[in-house]
Amino acid sequence: MEVKTCCSEDIHDIYNYCEPYYAEISAGCSMVPCKETAYNTFASTLHYDDYVVFAAMDGDKVCGVAIIVRGRSFFEGYEGDIDFFYIREEDRGSGSSRALVEACAEYADEHLTILYGGCATFLGKQNNTLYVNLYKKFGFKELGSIVCYTGEK
């Protein structure tokens, strides 16, 4: 499984992969934007330096997406948060989650002081446990209700 850092040319493939997620969360929820707004919001992430978008690839096929939002740390350097992590059900078990978490940890080693695994908080108890355990394999540590990566193993 290869992971690539995405750019604006990748937006259609990435959004089309994530579209079932946006359709599911927008169904019947007035607080979630319509699909067009969701697409525009998603597309804008590829134009800002504060977002890093990774796609797990099996050849030309997208098999998972992770987005890190980075910002200035209160202390020094930059910190980040895995703000979005999506694997379609049919791609689960393919190694894409592992490849994406590894890519996020490698990015953190090179560019961040700390990386929070914040998206795990919203996955539901069973999926949260799965992701927390996966994150821990790459050096993330639980700090209360969050997991974070500091580069220390």
Asked if residue 145 belongs to a domain, the reply is yes
Q: Flag whether pLDDT at 29 surpasses 80.
A: no
Asked if residue 21 belongs to a domain, the reply is no
- pLDDT-derived band of residue 107, with 50, 70 and 90 as boundaries? very high
Q: What is the CATH number of the domain that holds 54?
A: 3.40.630.30
The parent domain of residue 145 ranges over 2-6+49-149
pLDDT at 123: 45
Q: Note the pLDDT tens digit of each residue in 72-98.
A: 766 777 888 888 888 888 998 899 989
Asked if residue 27 belongs to a domain, the reply is no
Q: Flag whether pLDDT at 141 surpasses 90.
A: no
Asked if residue 37 belongs to a domain, the reply is no
* Cα atoms in the 13 Å half-sphere on the side-chain side of 101: 24
**DSSP 3-state assignment of 152?**
coil
Mean pLDDT of 137-149: 67
Asked if residue 12 belongs to a domain, the reply is no
pLDDT at 11: 83
Percent of the chain whose predicted confidence (pLDDT) is above 90: 21
User: Is the model's pTM score more than 0.85?
Assistant: no
Asked if residue 29 belongs to a domain, the reply is no
Mean pLDDT of 99-106: 92
- pLDDT-derived band of residue 127, with 50, 70 and 90 as boundaries? low
- Answer whether 100's CB lies under 8 Å from 64's CB: yes
Number of domains composing the chain:
1
- Answer whether 64's CB lies under 8 Å from 55's CB: yes
Mean pLDDT of 112-120: 74
The H or E element spanning position 108 is helix 96-111
Spatial distance between the Cα atoms of 59 and 1, rounded to a whole number of angstroms:
8
Query: How does DSSP classify residue 138?
Result: T
Q: Note the pLDDT tens digit of each residue in 32-72.
A: 556 666 677 777 777 777 889 999 999 999 999 998 988 87
Asked if residue 33 belongs to a domain, the reply is no
Asked if residue 26 belongs to a domain, the reply is no
